[in-house]
Structure 1
Amino acid sequence: MSYKALATDYDGTIATEGKVSETTYSALKHWQQTGRSLILVTGRRLDNLYDVFPQAKSFDCIVAENGALLSLPIIGEEKLLGSPPPNSLIEALQQRQVEPLRVGRGIISTEIPHDTTVIEVIKELGLAWQISYNKGAVMLLPEGVDKDFGLRTALNEMNLSPDEVVAVGDGENDLPLLKLGGLSVSVNNAVPVLKEASDWVMTKSCGDGVVELIEKLL
C-alpha cells in the first residue's frame, strides 16, 4: 500500500537526547516533499516542543500533550481535545511534594516513582483521570485521551484514514499510536512491548531508525 502520512513520536524516535539531527530532518522533509503528510505525535507541551525543535512548525499537524492538544501549525489553529487539569489535582500533587510537576493545557506530567502518589491522589479526588507511562515519565490525562484519540482527531481534520498512516514510536505511550496506524513501526531502541506490537522493527535507533524507515518506504 502507498501510505499518505507518517505519524511519529518525538523523544527517542525522531529525536536523540531531545534533539533532531539534520540528517533526520532532511529525511522527514523529503517524505513531505513527495506529497505525503507529516504528523508529530508527542507527549511534550507545544511551547516546549517549539523551544527544542522549532522546525516542528513545518509539520502538517502536531498532536501534543500525549493526545490532549491538536495543532495545525501551517494555518495557526490549535484545539484542546480534553479537559484542562483541575486546580484540585494540581494543588494536591503540590501538597504531596510531587517534583518535578509540569502542567500543560491538558496534561500534567511527573516522573517515576511519583506514579504511586499520583494514583492515590486521583482516587481520593474521584477524578476521571488516568496515567500513561513513557519509560521514566508519568503523564496524567483525562480518561480516553491518548495518542490514539489525538491522532484520530487529527486524521479527521486531514481527511485521512488510519490505514493510510505509518506510525512509529519507541515508548509505552506509543502503543495506542501504533495500534491505530495501518503500518506499525518501532525504532530499535523501543521498549520490548512496543516491538512485539510492531509490523516492522528498524535495525537502527532514534532518528537513524526513522531515516531507515523513510528510505525503506520510498
Structure 2
Amino acid sequence: MNYQILVLDLDGTLTNSEKKITPPTLEALIRIQENGKKVVLASGRPTYGVEPLARELHLERYGSYILSFNGARITDCRSGQIIYNRTLPADSIRPIYEIASKYPVDILAYGPSELISGLQINQYTEQESRINHIPIKQTDHFLDEVSSISNNKFLLTGEPAEIEKVRKEMISHFRGYLNIYCSEPFFLEIMPQNIDKAFSLQKLLNSIGLTADEMICCGDGYNDVTMIEYAGLGVAMQNAQPLVREKADYITKSNDEDGVLYVIEKFM
C-alpha cells in the first residue's frame, strides 16, 4: 500500500520520555512531507498544547493537520482554519461539575491561555499543565468561568482508584449523551458524544480525498485504540498499553527507541 498520511499520537508515541522529538525522527517527518505525504498530530491535548510540536515539524509549510482534544477539533495548519469543531452540550456542564464535586478529583477546562481548575489541584493537574506548557488558574467559580469559552472537553484528574469511581458514575449518568473514557488511569476525558480520534479522522479523510487504507496511525494509549483499528495500518508502540498492542496490526519500537522513525523507514 502506498500510504499517504501518517497520524501520530504525541505523548508516549512521537515524543520520547523527555517529551521531545529526536532529530532523526524530526528529519524523517519533514522529509516525507517534502515528498507530498501528510502528517497529522492527533492528541488529547488542546490545540495550543500541540502547536509547538507542529511548528517544529513545519506542518504549516506542508499543509498538514492538528487533531486536538481527542478529535473534537481539527485545524488546517497552513491556513489556521478550524475545519471541524465539536463542543460539550451546554446542558451537560453543570451536572458534570456536580458529579465531579462528589469525589477527591479535579476538573479542568481549557481557557484561551490557561488551564482552569475547578476543584482541587493535584499532581495530575500539574502534569497536564507541564505537558501543555500552560499555567493553572484555580477558581471557585468554575461554571461561570467556562460559560464564555468553547468547551471541547473537560478533563478529570486524580488517583486512579477515584477516577475509576467517578468514571462509572459519569458513564451511568451520561450514557448515550457524552463520550467518557480514560486516556490514562489518572486522566478521565469527558467528550462530546461519538467524538474520538477515528471519528474525526474519517471527517478529515473525507475532506482531503483520502481513504483509511492510505493511512497509518501510531499510538500507545487507550484513546488511540479507535484510530489504530480504523487505519489501513494500525501501529502500537512497544511501550503501549496491552490492549493497544492487542488491537494493532504492527508493533514498532518504543517511543524512546525512535519507534515512529522505524515505521517511516519500513512503510513510507
Return closer, same or farther for 1:185/1:8 CA change in 2, 3 Å cut-off: same
- 3-state SS of 2:218 partner: strand
CA deviation profile, 1:26-74 (whole Å, cap 9, x unmatched): 2211221111110111111112223566436616111111111111111
TM-score (norm 2): 0.73
- 3-state SS of 1:103 partner: strand
1:89·1:122 contact (CA, 8 Å) conserved in 2? no
Match of 1:156 in 2: 206
2:100·2:106 contact (CA, 8 Å) conserved in 1? no
Match of 1:61 in 2: 65
Select the residue among 196, 200, 203 that pairs with 2:250: 200
Alpha-carbon distance between aligned partners in 2 of 1:212 and 1:188, rounded to the nearest angstrom? 12
- 3-state SS of 2:82 partner: strand
CA deviation profile, 1:120-169 (whole Å, cap 9, x unmatched): 24644777112122232221112211111111111112211111001111
Larger CA deviation: 74-83 vs 26-35 = 74-83
Between the two proteins, the alignment pairs up a number of residues equal to: 218
* 2:96 counterpart of 1:96: no
Alpha-carbon distance between aligned partners in 2 of 1:5 and 1:56, rounded to the nearest angstrom? 15
2:96·2:170 contact (CA, 8 Å) conserved in 1? no
Alpha-carbon distance between aligned partners in 1 of 2:180 and 2:249, rounded to the nearest angstrom? 26
Identity of aligned pairs, percent? 25
Match of 1:16 in 2: 16
Amino acid corresponding to residue 82 of structure 1 in structure 2: R
Instruction: Structure 2: give runs of 5+ residues left out of the alignment.
Output: 111-150
* 2:48 counterpart of 1:42: no
Select the residue among 124, 127, 135 that pairs with 2:184: 135
- 3-state SS of 2:258 partner: helix
Instruction: Structure 1: give runs of 5+ residues left out of the alignment.
Output: none
1:133·1:139 contact (CA, 8 Å) conserved in 2? yes
2:3·2:215 contact (CA, 8 Å) conserved in 1? yes
RMSD over aligned CA atoms reads 2.4
Match of 2:77 in 1: 73
- 3-state SS of 1:92 partner: helix
TM-score (norm 1): 0.88
Return closer, same or farther for 1:21/1:82 CA change in 2, 3 Å cut-off: same
CA deviation profile, 1:173-200 (whole Å, cap 9, x unmatched): 1110011110111111111111111121
Match of 2:93 in 1: 87
- 3-state SS of 1:62 partner: strand
1:14·1:207 contact (CA, 8 Å) conserved in 2? no
Amino acid corresponding to residue 167 of structure 1 in structure 2: C
Alpha-carbon distance between aligned partners in 2 of 1:125 and 1:191, rounded to the nearest angstrom? 26
Amino acid corresponding to residue 117 of structure 1 in structure 2: V
- What is the deviation of 1:83? 3.0
